[in-house]
């Protein structure tokens, strides 16, 4: 009888404990369902994000989700660890969160590459007229020795501008490495053209009048040599054509004379 009473008392205490544990497991399972639904919603949000500003908002939402999940997991670690179904669900949630985090990072990299590429194109288009003005100023200041300081300022400004140009072009090249669909050919042509302006601006320097005359004569002589060479080549081509025409006429005349010889 005593044993029966002890058994009844034990069941009286154990049943509430079992019910309590079952309630805890059910509560954790319900929260897992909520976290899973939030995760699926974030996946859809990432799919719709096509701008960096939208990615910023997404990252905030993902960070908030991660914080809430980490805090809840730490608080319920004992309950989760005591049930295989909850452990499996927990593993699935962690895997889903890691996959979503990686996809978000990859998408941000792609969007950032496209943004850098477009920014490089805008920068080069806007700075074309700036380089032209700098070259014109450098050439003007290089004519007089007294404006040497102004020339130096122009060249320094150009160096700073070209440093920005190099950075933008480097970013565009990096963007193409990320997204092969981007065509860098137009940017490359514009970049080389602007670098040519840069070289001409930095080459500007004051020269005495005699030196400028000498340079002009040398450039004139170089042009004259090119023209003389071109005329010589053209003359040889015309002479060859004339010789060919003369040979043709001579052949026609010989055939004509053969036709005039009487046959027996």
136 belongs to a structural domain: no
What is the number of structural domains in the chain?
2
Last residue of a domain, one of 87, 113, 139: 113
Residue span of the structural domain in which 106 resides: 2-113
Last residue of a domain, one of 77, 93, 113: 113
189 belongs to a structural domain: no
Last residue of a domain, one of 94, 113, 132: 113
**At which residue do the structure tokens 């963007």 appear?**
175
168 belongs to a structural domain: no
Closest by alpha carbon to 120, among 182, 59, 69, 73? 182
Rounded to 5 degrees, what are φ and ψ at 149?
Answer: -65, -40
**Ranges 108-117, 154-163, 202-211: which has the least confidence:** 202-211
Buried residues in 8-18 as b, exposed as e (16+ CB within 10 A): eeeeeeeeeee
233 belongs to a structural domain: yes
> According to the model, what pLDDT value does residue 243 have?
74
128 belongs to a structural domain: no
153 belongs to a structural domain: no
Note the pTM of the prediction, 2 decimals. Answer: 0.63
Percent of the chain residues topping a pLDDT of 70: 74
Q: Is 262 helix (H, G, I), strand (E, B) or coil?
A: coil
Mean pLDDT confidence for 16-35 = 70
161 belongs to a structural domain: no
**Which has more confidence, 216 or 114?**
114
> According to the model, what pLDDT value does residue 103 have?
95
175 sits in the region (left: phi over 0; alpha: psi -120 to 50; else beta) called alpha
Residues 144 and 206 sit within 8 Å (Cβ to Cβ): yes
Interval 69-93: pLDDT, tens: 999 988 888 888 888 888 898 899 9
Interval 115-174: pLDDT, tens: 999 999 999 999 999 999 999 999 999 988 888 899 999 999 999 999 999 999 999 999
CA torsion 99→105→108→112, rounded to 10°? -150
166 belongs to a structural domain: no
């Amino acid at each position: 009888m005593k044993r029966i009473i002890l058994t009844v008392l034990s069941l009286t205490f154990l049943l509430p404990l079992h019910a309590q544990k079952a309630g805890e497991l059910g509560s954790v399972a319900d929260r897992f369902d909520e976290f899973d639904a939030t995760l699926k919603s974030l996946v859809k949000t990432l799919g719709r994000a096509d701008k960096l500003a939208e990615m910023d908002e997404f990252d905030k939402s993902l960070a908030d989700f991660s914080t809430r999940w980490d805090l809840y997991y730490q608080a319920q670690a004992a309950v989760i660890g005591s049930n295989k179904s909850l452990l499996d669900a927990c593993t699935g949630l962690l895997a889903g969160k890691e996959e979503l985090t990686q996809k978000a990072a990859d998408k941000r990299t792609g969007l950032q590459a496209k943004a850098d590429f477009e920014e490089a194109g805008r920068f080069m288009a806007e700075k074309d007229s700036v380089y032209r003005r700098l070259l014109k100023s450098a050439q003007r200041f290089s004519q007089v020795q007294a404006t040497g300081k102004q020339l130096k300022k122009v060249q320094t400004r150009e160096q700073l501008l070209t440093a920005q140009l190099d950075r933008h072009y480097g970013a565009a090249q990096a963007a193409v490495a990320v997204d092969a669909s981007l065509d860098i050919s137009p940017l490359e042509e514009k970049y080389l053209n602007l670098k040519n302006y840069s070289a001409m601006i930095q080459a500007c320097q004051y020269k005495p009048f005699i030196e400028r005359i000498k340079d002009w004569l040398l450039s004139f002589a170089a042009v004259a040599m090119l023209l003389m060479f071109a005329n010589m080549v053209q003359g040889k081509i015309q002479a060859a054509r004339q010789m060919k025409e003369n040979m043709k006429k001579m052949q026609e005349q010989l055939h004509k004379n053969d036709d005039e010889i009487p046959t027996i």
